[in-house]
Amino acid sequence: MQAKAFNFQVFLEISCNIVFALIIIYLLKSGNYLYYVTPRMEPYLIFSTIVSAIWALAGIKRLFKPQHLIRSAHCFVLMIPVVLLLLPHSALGINDVSTGYAGAGAYMKNPTSGNSSIQSEYSSGQYSDFTNDPVDYSGNTTSPSAQEDYNYSYDISPSPYEPDVKSGLDEENKKINIINDEFYPWITEIYANMDGYEGYEITMTGFVFKDQEYLNENEFVPARLAMVCCAADLAPIGILCLYDNLSELESGQWVTVTGILHKGQYNGQDEPQITVTGISPAEEVLVYIFPY
């Protein structure tokens, strides 16, 4: 009985699809896909994995069909992203980001009229899951779905507190202590209620971001990197700080800042700012912030 001819081209196609699907599965299970895209892209990655698996299964029946002309160049096109995805994964730093400081208001959904450029889902101290749906201020909230507990922790900024009980808030002593997991919710809360928090002492952690094009010599932002869609749009967000000894700090250095909140101006718009009273070194926070 004559042996069936082995189709090497089909074998390469099947192998590429299987390897690609396995890498995407690994990135999903480990959470490392969040180095590149936001959690909103997870369904699309799952879909691409399913499609790759279907293509691989569909190719099995052609594996032993003879083919006179073997073409394999198209397989190497798929191998390029495969090789890139196999490279070590690490979070980007400020030196990898080309976008300048835009203020947290740039990431908030509904601009308001007047001097204020932002309208937060927290304007009533209530979280709205950062969706495009109108904010319900009636007291009814819908909790966001819990994220899978990956080995590597990513901050997707769910609401960490009840509407009237904010974590880290000491109203009696007019103090706010922002923990890392609540960075973005607190930033939006303060932007939306800057009058209410004026004069409060605030403590927050971020990397030193200096922008010579837009910020003065005594201004910096204790920032975190925010991702709206993918790694290409990473941008620093935080609260502008005024510090006379800024030359002592290196750009990208992680610090914990303590200071007094007040209302200031940036690009002609009202925004909260911090007059720094103390700075101490801090450990790097290896997470991105996903506003939406």
Please identify, among 86, 102, 124, the residue that sits at the C-terminal boundary of a domain.
86
pLDDT over 80 (residue 73):
no
Under a CB-based contact definition with an 8 Å cutoff, are residues 277 and 262 in contact?
Answer: no
Please identify, among 70, 86, 102, the residue that sits at the C-terminal boundary of a domain.
86
pLDDT in tens, 107-127: 554 433 333 333 333 333 333
pLDDT over 90 (residue 154):
no
pLDDT band at 158 (very low <50, low <70, confident <90, very high): very low
**pLDDT higher for 239 or 142?**
239
Distance from C-alpha of 224 to C-alpha of 289, rounded to nearest angstrom: 7
Q: Tell me whether residue 286 is in a domain.
A: no
Q: Tell me whether residue 241 is in a domain.
A: yes
Q: What total number of domains does the chain contain?
A: 2
Structure tokens at 249: 């700090």
Beta-strand pair 175-177/201-209: parallel
**pLDDT higher for 87 or 154?**
87
Whether residues 29 and 52 fall in one domain: yes
pLDDT over 60 (residue 105):
no
Helix (H, G, I), strand (E, B) or coil at 150: coil
Q: What residue type is 3 in one-letter code?
A: A
Whether residues 190 and 142 fall in one domain: yes
pLDDT over 90 (residue 86):
no
Beta-strand pair 235-237/169-170: unpaired
Whether residues 176 and 145 fall in one domain: yes
Q: Where are the alpha helices (DSSP H) in the chain?
A: 8-30, 42-60, 73-86, 183-192
Please identify, among 32, 62, 86, the residue that sits at the C-terminal boundary of a domain.
86
Whether residues 13 and 119 fall in one domain: no
Ranking 71-80, 132-141, 220-229 by mean pLDDT, the lowest is: 132-141
Angle at 274 between CA 158 and CA 262, to 5 degrees: 100
Q: Tell me whether residue 118 is in a domain.
A: yes
The pLDDT of residue 145: 38
Number of neighbours of residue 117 by Cβ within 10 angstroms:
19
**Diameter over CA atoms, the chain:** 90
Q: Tell me whether residue 1 is in a domain.
A: no
The distance of Cα 78 from the centroid of its chain, to the nearest Å, equals 27
Number of neighbours of residue 33 by Cβ within 10 angstroms:
22
Q: Span 76-102, mean pLDDT?
A: 66
DSSP annotation of 161? S
Q: Tell me whether residue 287 is in a domain.
A: no
pLDDT in tens, 185-230: 999 899 989 999 999 999 999 999 998 787 888 999 999 998 888 8
Note if the pTM is more than 0.75: no
Whether residues 59 and 103 fall in one domain: no
Which of 169-174's residues contact partners 24+ apart within 8 Å by CB, and which partners?
Answer: 173/201, 174/199, 174/200, 174/201
Q: Tell me whether residue 288 is in a domain.
A: no
pLDDT band at 276 (very low <50, low <70, confident <90, very high): very high
Whether residues 111 and 222 fall in one domain: yes
Q: What residue type is 105 in one-letter code?
A: G
Residues whose CB is less than 8 angstroms from the CB of residue 164 and which lie 6 or more positions away in sequence, other chains included: 125
Whether residues 54 and 170 fall in one domain: no
Ranking 78-87, 121-130, 280-289 by mean pLDDT, the lowest is: 121-130
Whether residues 46 and 186 fall in one domain: no
Whether residues 107 and 236 fall in one domain: yes
Distance from C-alpha of 107 to C-alpha of 144, rounded to nearest angstrom: 19
Whether residues 38 and 129 fall in one domain: no
Domain residues for 115? 94-281
Rounded to the nearest integer, the mean pLDDT of the chain is 76
Whether residues 110 and 177 fall in one domain: yes
Angle at 187 between CA 204 and CA 133, to 5 degrees: 150
Whether residues 43 and 153 fall in one domain: no
Under a CB-based contact definition with an 8 Å cutoff, are residues 201 and 259 in contact?
Answer: yes
